[in-house]
Amino acid sequence: MNDKLSTLAACIEFGKINKAAPYPPQMKGQDGADEITKQLLDEGVAPGDILSDALIKGMEKVGEKFSKNQIFVPQMLMSAKAMQFAMNHLKPFFATGEADRRGTFVVGTVEGDLHDIGKNIVAMMVEGNGYEVIDLGVDVKAEQFVAEIEKNPNCFIGLSALLTTTMANMEKIVSEIKGKYPEQNICIGGAPVTQDFCDKIGADSYNPDPQGVVKFLNSVAVAS
């Protein structure tokens, strides 16, 4: 395998953004995700291979380490940022269809709720794992999700709520979406949300952290 691909995977894993970034210390002064992605493209490596053989590999390592409590959310975000720098070089190829994302994730904080940090973190991690993310922001109503499904019929939906009062709106949104699109995969999360609640309202997946939702998406994205 191309050495540079494994170096790029390591940049993602350890959150080495670009040459100028001083972190992590053991990679100081070396090229980062930004430079190496560009070099690989210049060398003629296919964008799809860069994505699957380096970027996603690196993110998978991040996921594993997070699951084992070896790293925490800030380190995960550092990797997501390195990923963003790499993805900026790949974006033109997604537009032309030369490379494909794993799927589309439409995410929002539910109607009545304005908390967005948790939702943002989830959005960044899902994006970092090779999905296109459409972030509808906060205070998002059922109609907005439905409109997005009409545009992206195979998308996955992600709902976030931080208060028990707004969890009620989550229930409403799930039932409105499922009423029209029973097959649409809906993922939910946020501090007060539980698996029991997920079962009760008929959503497809509850996860306490972004890693869980990535796993879920990968399992259904492969299946479909």
Partner 1 sequence: MSVKKYQLTIDELAIDRKSIARLLGFETEQLEQPYLDMVEQELQLAKSYVRIEGGVVQSEQKLVVDVKQGIVAVNGVSFNVGRQVAGYLKKSEQAILFVCTAGKDISDRSKELMNKGDLVEGFIVDILGSVIVEAGMDAIHEQLKQEFQTTGLAVTNRYSPGYCSWDVAEQHKLFSLMPDNFCDITLTESSLMEPVKSVSGIIGIGEHVRFRKYACEECNSKNCIYRNKK
Q: 19 is written with which tokens?
A: 């040459």
187 contacts ligand B12 (rule: CB under 6 A):
yes
203 contacts partner 1 (rule: CB under 8 A):
no
Identity of the residue, 35 or 53, whose beta carbon is nearer to partner 1 in the bound complex: 35
Nearest Cα neighbor of 108 from 146, 63, 154 is 146
Reduced to 3 states, what is the DSSP secondary structure of residue 106? strand
Q: 181 is written with which tokens?
A: 């699109």
184 contacts ligand B12 (rule: CB under 6 A):
no
Nearest Cα neighbor of 120 from 196, 200, 210, 205 is 210
Task: Please choose, out of 36-44, 93-101, 110-118, 177-185, the segment that lies near partner 1 by the rule CB under 8 A.
Answer: 110-118
Q: Return the exposure string of 146-163: e unless at least 16 CB atoms fall within 10 Å of the residue's CB, then b.
A: bebbeeeeebbbbbbbbb
Q: For partner 1, what does the binding mask look like between residues 117 and 136, x meaning CB under 8 A?
A: x--xx--x------------
In the complex, the smallest distance separating the C-beta of residue 66 from ligand B12, rounded to whole angstroms, is: 10
Among positions 173-192, residues that touch partner 1 (CB under 8 A) are: 191
Nearest Cα neighbor of 133 from 142, 122, 141, 143 is 122
Between β-strands 156-160 and 132-135, what pairing exists: parallel, antiparallel or unpaired?
unpaired
164 contacts partner 1 (rule: CB under 8 A):
yes
In the complex, the smallest distance separating the C-beta of residue 187 from ligand B12, rounded to whole angstroms, is: 4
Which DSSP helix (H) or strand (E) runs through 107? strand 104-109
What are the residues binding ligand B12 (CB under 6 A)? 73, 115, 117-119, 121-122, 158-160, 162-164, 187-192, 207, 209-210, 213
What are the residues binding partner 1 (CB under 8 A)? 22-23, 25, 69, 72-74, 77-78, 80-81, 84, 111-117, 120-121, 124, 163-166, 169, 191
